[in-house]
Amino acid sequence: MDYHACVNIVTWNGEEYIDDLLKSLEAQSFQGFQIIVIDNASSDKTLEILKKYPRIVILKNSSNQGFSRAHNKGIDLALKFWQGKSLDDRFIFVVNQDVVLKEDCLERMLKSIYIEKNTAVVGPKLLRIYEEEIDNLPHKSRSNTIDSLGIKISKSRKTTDKFSGQEEKPDLAKQEVFGVSGAFMCLRASALNSIKHDREYFDEDFFAYKEDVDLCWRLQNMGWKIMLAPEAVAYHYRKVRGDAKISLWKKFQNQKNKSCTIKFLSLRNHLWTILKNDFTANHLMHWPFIFFREFGKFGYNLFLDTKNVQAYFSAIAGIPKMLKKRAYLKNAKVGAREVRRWIG
């Protein structure tokens, strides 16, 4: 069968979630897709669960190669399926293992991206599923709490999920956004080819974290549109219920309790993302905002989270490589002004 879409999933010890995702894919109103799973050397029962689904193509990595490299392998395989065919109407869904889709989600996302040929990425309305204990029994609760309605970027270059932690906005219209969450996105294959660096679509130096921001920023610089399709709904698992507005002390505690790996990758990759993608004119215009935020973060890490200082050394070591990757800006299809409309 000639599939026009591939659903690509990277798994790593995902036995708790993957069956729910695959069942939601089986229940989709649109079924014209191939499923590709790239497993990052899971040591639990993930592979056993995957083998129950014969339509899945499984790629096994011998080690945990991270989000970026694993997804790049899946994208390469999807493109091989479509060799010799137009990539303008071929689409790749990038989906986290801990996401569940409403029955018409894929169909609505495809309708949204198919119509507008200059749209590279479409994201759904991403709500939260909470894992809770009720009467001492595990329970999964679908909520109306927003996980992400796209990604926004501030003048300090801080990127956040729009409306995260707030109640669902039922009347939200389809709209253009700066970026969408890498937890679930639909990508036009031809757009991916247009930003490919060597053999990379997602930046493999990132390993994981911020690679969705980097990808969307590159697409923006190359003149592609990124859309939010709120009529398409999916759910993202979260362990703990969170509030949209929390105190500064709570933010401090949350940051302190994050794993060292997450903090390291998030900080380093944030700095690399700016270096790779920010137009010089925009950076100079917003330099005070960027400086004061980064100076504050550096002080925090230097005195309160000293282990994370190594992220700065890693970021500095990667500067030559990131500058080479930044060279794509010479061929940017838009100027600083067009991208600046997203920075606020």
Identify whether 283 is part of a domain: yes
**pLDDT tens digits, one per residue of 98-130:** 999 999 999 999 999 998 899 999 999 999 999
In a domain, 214, yes or no: yes
Same domain, 22 and 135: yes
List, for residues 151-191, the tens digit of each pLDDT value: 999 999 999 999 999 999 888 999 999 999 999 999 999 99
Regarding whether 192 and 271 lie in a shared domain, the answer is: no
What pLDDT is attached to residue 131? 80
Residue that is last in its domain, among 206, 238, 270: 238
Give me the mean pLDDT over the 264-279 stretch: 99
Residue 141 has pLDDT above 90, yes or no: no
Mean pLDDT (the chain, rounded): 94
Does 157 lie in the same domain as 209? yes
Residue 3's pLDDT is 73
Identify whether 243 is part of a domain: no
Domain range enclosing 21:
5-238
Residues 32 and 82 grouped into a single domain = yes
pLDDT given at position 86: 94
- Which CATH number characterizes residue 89's domain? 3.90.550.10
Cα–Cα distance list, 133 to 114, 138, 239, 240 (Å) = 41, 5, 11, 11
Question: Which residue type is seen at 274?
Answer: I
What does the block give as tokens for 5?
A: 């879409």
DSSP letters, 277-309, are: H--HHHHHHTHHHHHHHHHHHHHHHHHH-GGGG
Q: Closest by alpha carbon to 242, among 322, 318, 130? A: 130
Lookup: tokens for 47: 């592979």
Q: 239: closest CA among 128, 335, 341?
A: 128
Query: How many domains does one find in the chain?
Result: 2
Q: What is the pTM of this model?
A: 0.94
Task: Identify the CA nearest to 272 among candidates 234, 318, 232.
Answer: 318
Note whether 229 and 271 are same-domain residues: no
The H-assigned helical ranges of 116-208 are 189-194
